[in-house]
């Protein structure tokens, strides 16, 4: 959307946007962007707090009157029902047998989280799952698709499935990952405790020992090996800042075949 906003502005229409990945926004340099510290798939924060969501929207629209050059403004508040690192801890202990494949480990995690995800959907009356084109009932198929890519490294070939995906490869990878993040976050929101994790706590947990984190990192390595710019852009969208080899997963200039 950041790149698209430049074309819209050239037609004389002012644009503003909400950013969930600051590193990506810094590279694209949209005319105006409000960066929010929320989990991927939740650009307005808590789905249970409409007043807070309105506050986020007002922050983005305010940039239309205050920003006179490409601007990224940090939203100053965490989502009120989300707990940060050091406060939130997952009440479930994921310790799948080491001899299982990555796909089977991921499916085992999904199975343990499913009752909590169902409870959250019951309370909210909806789910944000579905970016890939799958429905929430297809979460196992999404897990199998991403697990297949992690195990076989096929980042340009559509994963085996009877589902009709909304995107082609490798961009589909980003949306498969977003759907699984959404499923995990919604499941965690249904558990007792100090609230769902915020963006940083969720990522620390995912990459600190879940099968989902292992799958993400395996897919990221395959995207690196693919040696093309789109694959490396998807890698940046897949792995948050600081969780890929200790730094950013977004491609450096030379990875697009240009000089730094």
pLDDT tens digits along 129-147: 999 999 999 999 999 999 9
Residue 79 · residue 198 · CB < 8 Å: yes
Cβ-based burial of 149 (10 A; exposed 0-12, middle 13-18, buried ≥19): buried
pLDDT for the residue numbered 4: 79
pLDDT for the residue numbered 145: 98
pLDDT for the residue numbered 86: 56
pLDDT for the residue numbered 12: 87
Which DSSP symbol is given to 158?
A: P
pLDDT for the residue numbered 195: 60
pLDDT for the residue numbered 258: 40
Cβ-based burial of 247 (10 A; exposed 0-12, middle 13-18, buried ≥19): exposed
Give pLDDT < 70 ranges for the chain.
1-3, 39-41, 47-48, 80-98, 191-197, 252-260
pLDDT for the residue numbered 95: 66
pLDDT tens digits along 61-93: 999 998 878 899 999 887 766 555 555 556 566
């Amino acid at each position: 959307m950041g790149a698209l906003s430049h074309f819209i502005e050239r037609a004389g229409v002012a644009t503003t946007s909400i950013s969930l990945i600051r590193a990506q926004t810094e590279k694209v340099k949209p005319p105006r962007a409000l960066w929010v510290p929320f989990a991927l798939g939740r650009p307005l924060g808590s789905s249970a707090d409409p007043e807070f969501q309105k506050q986020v929207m007002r922050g983005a629209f305010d940039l239309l009157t205050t920003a006179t050059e490409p601007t990224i403004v940090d939203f100053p508040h965490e989502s009120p029902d989300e707990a940060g690192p050091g406060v939130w801890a997952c009440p479930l202990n994921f310790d799948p047998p080491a001899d299982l494949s990555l796909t089977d480990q991921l499916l085992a995690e999904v199975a343990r989280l499913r009752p909590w995800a169902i409870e959250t959907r019951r309370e909210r009356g909806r789910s944000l799952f579905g970016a890939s084109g799958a429905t929430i009932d297809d979460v196992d198929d999404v897990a199998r698709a991403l697990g297949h890519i992690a195990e076989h490294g096929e980042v340009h070939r559509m994963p085996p499935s009877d589902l009709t995906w909304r995107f082609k490869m490798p961009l589909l990878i980003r949306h498969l990952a977003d759907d699984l993040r959404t499923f995990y976050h919604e499941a965690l929101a249904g558990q007792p405790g100090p609230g769902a994790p915020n963006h940083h706590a969720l990522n620390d947990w995912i990459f600190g020992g879940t099968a989902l984190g292992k799958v993400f990192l395996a897919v990221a390595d395959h995207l690196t090996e693919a040696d093309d710019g789109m694959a490396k852009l998807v890698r940046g969208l897949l792995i948050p800042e600081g969780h890929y080899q200790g730094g950013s997963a977004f491609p450096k200039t030379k990875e697009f075949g240009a000089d730094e």
